[in-house]
Chains A and B, each alone.
Chain A
């Protein structure tokens, strides 16, 4: 059995009700857990982009992507490994203002983690960190040691392919042209 690694599956779809169900069903069938999920409108109006990460072996993820691609409402789907991508997650941390000020090493912490402070009230401070999982997790762990984190939230991964230029619009234009002929 091949070792499992984290794959990032990128899916372009029509923007319809029920697309997420269609996609997640295909992971479910093969017993794959979805680690992260991010969905948003793509650069092309009316087309949505899903970014899904999942631990899998290569053979399985290839088949999963083919079966996603086969769905009528899916425009294109592909998979990548981390080396092929520039990817990012965003995390927000809420801590109590008095605890935060009592740290005494705020500048050092901000420089070390490249933190942004989004909001500060007498009650709480909201910090933002973007980066890879290890980085957002690193800050979480360091903060946890020093104070109480009141709330923590991390987004799904978003990713951009290093090797190829995303030319979905070209593909759509080609399909349309073939249809016209």
Chain B
């Protein structure tokens, strides 16, 4: 056996054994020994020094979402650790596999209110898939192995490893064995033939089936299985926000995007279909509106990996538990080929209505000011639908989710469940690092941009070629929209006096441009996309812009607001 090594070096070796190639981090007192070890591993890891621990976690999320590999970040104890909470909660809500390694004071100081001590395991247990404190060097390898196993298998999620300082410094023998089993943890239920049979029967009897595709399909690498399933029984399908890009935009049966700002047709059809097949989605309230009026006429089949999601928000007729790749393949085998031409055609009037009342007005706007939608579509077109879309949260997010288009999977990185403003810039950094060969386009509002604006420093230092499109309306646009529609235009706390964003980009040596007029867009977008360097395109957009269609919160999915004529 080789000589004992320090716990901090065991961490480095363990990360290598797990195939980690990228680390996002920020150092501090209780994690210095780990950063000291990292100094000897700089040729093994692509390490990015972020500007805030929140950025480190969001970057790890962005990395994981595009690459399918777990994102890793390392931060210090106390405030470093608490700064990761938003990102950990975000990853929990959106089932993103990340490993957050936090420093911790020495074991002998635990519980004494030592300098920068915080009960990280206690704080994060409700918002992690698993949280573990490493108290001695000989626990490091096992803890890391278990962390990766738990984070990446089954329904993925965040794991916290709280690494005490003594465990970083002490010596232990290094022996690594990847974890493949933990007796109290069943990653994915076995596919049950009876469940497949029952669901197939319902699908075979359906005259008006509708599928709703969630991120479970992407997380399960089941995109091909999905398309085969839909094709075989000719089932129209729509995506949730996180399910976008699981199907190519031009796929024949792709009927768009469901939910609060989704497309009219699939939202209306939710309450007309006879069988609703929900695949790897969790009936979020932004999808269902009022659950008591949601698809009441339909038999609902819920296909999911997580038994706790079944009947949680919407009562189902039949469940199919298991990994989407296996369940969809089994379902495809069990169902009969079918055609639903009339049913699929019946989507068209709604699509026509949305085209006329919303999309045309957005993309060919009569007003002088640029709309968010038109710039999104221009960028999507200019990147031949091959770019990765990263969004912040709010109107920028909904406009880009509606108007960006996709050819391949894992092409959208957005904060769905938690709705984290400030997610955009760091997530885009992570996405670019995770998919360096792809163009990564961030759409962000002026509010969210300023929540994590410090990460421009990371972009500068690590030379990250992200294309940032700042949709500036000088408002917290989505809140302003709710105030306009539901709060008698009382614009409380939503108008923003903003800095000159181009000057800020200049200070960080990031190429940039400011667009205020429609006829400048094409050239500016071409300029932004001419190379693989970072770019900030500041676009002044319509201040009074509203995202339509809209199902007001808690309303029936068919109660859809469209612009007044």
Using a CB–CB distance below 8 Å, which chain A residues touch chain B?
13-14, 17-18, 21-22, 25, 29, 62-63, 66-67, 69-70, 72-75, 172, 175-176, 179
User: Is B133 an interface residue, CB under 8 A from the partner?
Assistant: yes
Q: How many positions in chain B have a CB within 8 Å of any CB in the partner chain?
A: 22
Given contacts A66-B308, A70-B308, contact A172 B122 (CB under 8 A): no
Besides A18-B121, A21-B125, A25-B125, 7 more A-B contacts (Cβ < 8 Å) are A17-B133, A63-B308, A67-B308, A70-B308, A73-B184, A172-B183, A179-B181
Interface pair B130/A72, CB less than 8 Å apart: yes
Contacts of B131 in A (CB 8 A): 18
Using a CB–CB distance below 8 Å, which chain B residues touch chain A?
121-122, 125-126, 129-131, 133, 150, 180-186, 306-308, 310-312
Interface pair B308/A72, CB less than 8 Å apart: no
Contacts of B182 in A (CB 8 A): 72
Closest Cβ of chain A to B150, distance in Å, is: 6
Interface pair B183/A75, CB less than 8 Å apart: yes
Contact of A72 among B121, B133, B150, B306 (CB under 8 A): B150
Interface pair A18/B183, CB less than 8 Å apart: no
CA distance A66 to B184 in the complex (A): 14
Closest Cβ of chain A to B363, distance in Å, is: 43
Interface pair B125/A22, CB less than 8 Å apart: yes
Contacts of B185 in A (CB 8 A): 72-73
Interface pair A14/B122, CB less than 8 Å apart: no
Contacts of A21 in B (CB 8 A): 122, 125
CA distance A90 to B311 in the complex (A): 37
Contact of A70 among B125, B126, B150, B307 (CB under 8 A): B307
CA distance A73 to B128 in the complex (A): 12
Interface pair B126/A29, CB less than 8 Å apart: yes
Closest Cβ of chain A to B149, distance in Å, is: 10
Kindly name the residue among B182, B307, B308, B312 whose own CB sees the greatest number of chain A CB atoms within 10 A.
B308
Interface pair A175/B186, CB less than 8 Å apart: yes
Contacts of A25 in B (CB 8 A): 125-126
CA distance A52 to B174 in the complex (A): 41
Contacts of B129 in A (CB 8 A): 72
Given contacts A66-B307, A67-B308, A75-B184, contact A18 B150 (CB under 8 A): no
Contacts of B125 in A (CB 8 A): 18, 21-22, 25
Contact of A69 among B122, B181, B308, B311 (CB under 8 A): B308
CA distance A18 to B132 in the complex (A): 9
Closest 8 CB pairs of A and B: A66-B308, A75-B184, A25-B126, A70-B308, A179-B181, A72-B185, A72-B130, A22-B125
CA distance A75 to B186 in the complex (A): 9
Contact of B307 among A69, A176, A179 (CB under 8 A): A69
Contacts of A172 in B (CB 8 A): 183
Contacts of B150 in A (CB 8 A): 72
CA distance A69 to B150 in the complex (A): 15
Question: Looking across the interface, which residue of chain B has its beta carbon closest to that of A176?
Answer: B183
Closest Cβ of chain A to B418, distance in Å, is: 15
Closest Cβ of chain B to A134, distance in Å, is: 34
Given contacts A63-B312, A66-B307, A69-B308, contact A74 B133 (CB under 8 A): no
What are 24 residue pairs bridging A and B, where the CB atoms are less than 8 Å apart in the complex?
A17-B121, A17-B133, A18-B121, A18-B122, A18-B125, A18-B131, A22-B125, A22-B126, A25-B125, A62-B311, A63-B308, A63-B312, A66-B307, A66-B310, A70-B308, A72-B129, A72-B130, A72-B150, A72-B182, A73-B185, A74-B184, A75-B184, A175-B183, A179-B181
Contacts of B183 in A (CB 8 A): 14, 75, 172, 175-176
Contacts of B180 in A (CB 8 A): 179
Closest Cβ of chain B to A111, distance in Å, is: 47
CA distance A74 to B307 in the complex (A): 14
CA distance A74 to B129 in the complex (A): 12
Question: Looking across the interface, which residue of chain B has its beta carbon closest to that of A46?
Answer: B183
Kindly name the residue among B121, B125, B182 whose own CB sees the greatest number of chain A CB atoms within 10 A.
B125
Closest Cβ of chain A to B414, distance in Å, is: 25
CA distance A175 to B312 in the complex (A): 26
Contacts of A13 in B (CB 8 A): 184
Contacts of A74 in B (CB 8 A): 184
Given contacts A70-B306, A72-B150, contact A14 B126 (CB under 8 A): no
Interface pair B122/A72, CB less than 8 Å apart: no
CA distance A175 to B186 in the complex (A): 9
CA distance A42 to B120 in the complex (A): 29
Question: Looking across the interface, which residue of chain A has its beta carbon closest to that of B150?
Answer: A72
Question: Looking across the interface, which residue of chain B has its beta carbon closest to that of A29?
Answer: B126
Kindly name the residue among B150, B184, B310 whose own CB sees the greatest number of chain A CB atoms within 10 A.
B184
Question: Looking across the interface, which residue of chain B has its beta carbon closest to that of A178?
Answer: B190
CA distance A90 to B410 in the complex (A): 57
Contacts of A63 in B (CB 8 A): 308, 311-312
CA distance A25 to B122 in the complex (A): 10
Contacts of B130 in A (CB 8 A): 72-73
CA distance A25 to B182 in the complex (A): 22
Question: Looking across the interface, which residue of chain A has its beta carbon closest to that of B185?
Answer: A72
Question: Looking across the interface, which residue of chain B has its beta carbon closest to that of A19?
Answer: B125
CA distance A179 to B180 in the complex (A): 9
CA distance A142 to B310 in the complex (A): 48
CA distance A179 to B153 in the complex (A): 15
CA distance A70 to B126 in the complex (A): 12
Closest Cβ of chain A to B194, distance in Å, is: 18
CA distance A140 to B542 in the complex (A): 72
Question: Looking across the interface, which residue of chain A has its beta carbon closest to that of B187?
Answer: A72
CA distance A74 to B312 in the complex (A): 19
Contacts of A22 in B (CB 8 A): 125-126
Contact of B184 among A14, A29, A179 (CB under 8 A): A14
Interface pair B184/A72, CB less than 8 Å apart: yes
Closest Cβ of chain A to B85, distance in Å, is: 15
